[in-house]
């Protein structure tokens, strides 16, 4: 009998490599003919993509952490209703690039929005849907800032609202992810993302293989 579909999230700082690892992991699951859907937040639906554009656009002016919170949860609810829940109901695993843990880390620890308020809005927006498993790609914030797409966007003068934040913000966000992972140790697996890409990917596959009941390749 096919295993029940799982909701698996990939979390970490911008530049942690999570999105690249997710794409590679998805290609590997394709090879193993594992039915799954890859999606991301904020976004993942036409409405969510529009909210994402507003959320990241620096020309919209200052936004406080609570406004950010409401935008990402509006995107999240639409995403759950339109994409995530239907995929799970149809028996497909869902691999999602960011979910509520990003809100805890960025808006909670990064912006200072009270964590109980985040949990309250989370209950309303998601009905308590929680990932079955979460991979946290961890590396020092200073290192993450030199990787990914953010440095080139900053160099081109095309930094989004979050790229434009300084190192201290990203250090708070990293600390936030670690705290959230500690609080829910059963759901999280932390992956050291500062080493060689292939080693990190091997760790990702090992975790997925265990969760999905796959034979790991040699
Ligand atoms: P991405 O580059 O991984 O697609 O994410 C876009 C930015 O949105 C990234 O800087 C993290 C931020 N973000 C939040 O601040 N809160 C959230 O809840 C989510 C999902 C993303």
For residue 162, the ligand 1 atom closest to its alpha carbon is 10
For residue 41, the ligand 1 atom closest to its alpha carbon is 20
Domain membership of residue 218 (yes or no) is: no
Q: Which of 138, 108, 109, 188 is nearest to 12 (CA)?
A: 138
pLDDT at 29: 97
pLDDT at 109: 98
Q: pLDDT tens, position by position, for the chain (218 residues)?
A: 667 999 999 999 999 999 999 999 999 999 999 999 999 999 999 999 999 999 999 999 889 999 999 999 999 999 999 999 999 999 999 999 999 999 999 999 999 999 999 999 999 999 999 999 999 999 999 999 999 888 888 888 888 899 889 999 999 999 999 999 999 999 999 999 999 999 999 999 999 999 999 976 54
In angstroms, the CA 55 to CA 162 distance is: 9
| CA-nearest residue, atom 13 of ligand 1 | 102
| CA-nearest residue, atom 3 of ligand 1 | 14
Instruction: Tell me the residue ranges of DSSP E strands in the chain.
Output: 7-12, 36-40, 93-97, 133-138, 188-192
Domain membership of residue 73 (yes or no) is: yes
Domain membership of residue 1 (yes or no) is: no
122 lines ligand 1 (CB under 6 A): no
Burial of 146 (0-12, 13-18, 19+ CB in 10 A): exposed
In angstroms, the CA 184 to CA 195 distance is: 25
Domain membership of residue 11 (yes or no) is: yes
72 lines ligand 1 (CB under 6 A): yes
From the CA of 36, how far away is ligand 1's center (Å)?
Answer: 22
pLDDT at 152: 85
Domain membership of residue 217 (yes or no) is: no
87 lines ligand 1 (CB under 6 A): no
For position 33, which CATH number holds? Answer: 3.40.50.300
Domain membership of residue 90 (yes or no) is: yes
pLDDT at 156: 86
Distance (Å) of CA 215 to CA 8, 18, 38, 68: 18, 23, 21, 41
| Domain ranges, residue 77 | 7-212
63 lines ligand 1 (CB under 6 A): no
Q: Number of structural domains, the chain?
A: 1
Domain membership of residue 187 (yes or no) is: yes
106 lines ligand 1 (CB under 6 A): yes
């Amino acid at each position: 009998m096919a295993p029940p579909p799982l909701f698996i999230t990939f979390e970490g700082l911008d530049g942690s490599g999570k999105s690249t690892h997710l794409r590679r992991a998805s290609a590997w699951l394709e090879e193993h003919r594992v039915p799954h859907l890859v999606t991301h937040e904020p976004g993942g639906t036409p409405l969510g993509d529009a909210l994402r554009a507003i959320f990241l656009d620096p020309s919209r002016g200052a936004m406080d952490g609570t406004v950010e919170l409401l935008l990402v949860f509006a995107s999240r609810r639409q995403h759950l209703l339109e994409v995530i829940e239907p995929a799970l109901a149809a028996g497909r695993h869902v691999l999602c690039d960011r979910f509520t843990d990003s809100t805890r880390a960025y808006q909670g620890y990064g912006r200072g929005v009270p964590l109980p308020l985040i949990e309250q809005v989370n209950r309303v927006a998601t009905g308590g849907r929680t990932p079955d498993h979460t991979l946290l790609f961890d590396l020092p914030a200073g290192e993450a800032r030199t990787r990914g797409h953010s440095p080139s966007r900053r160099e081109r003068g095309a930094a989004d609202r979050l790229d434009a934040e300084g190192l201290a913000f990203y250090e708070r966000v990293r600390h936030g992810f670690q705290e959230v992972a500690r609080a829910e140790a059963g759901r999280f697996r932390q992956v050291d993302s500062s080493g060689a890409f292939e080693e990190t990917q091997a760790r990702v596959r090992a975790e997925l293989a265990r969760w999905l009941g796959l034979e790991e390749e040699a």
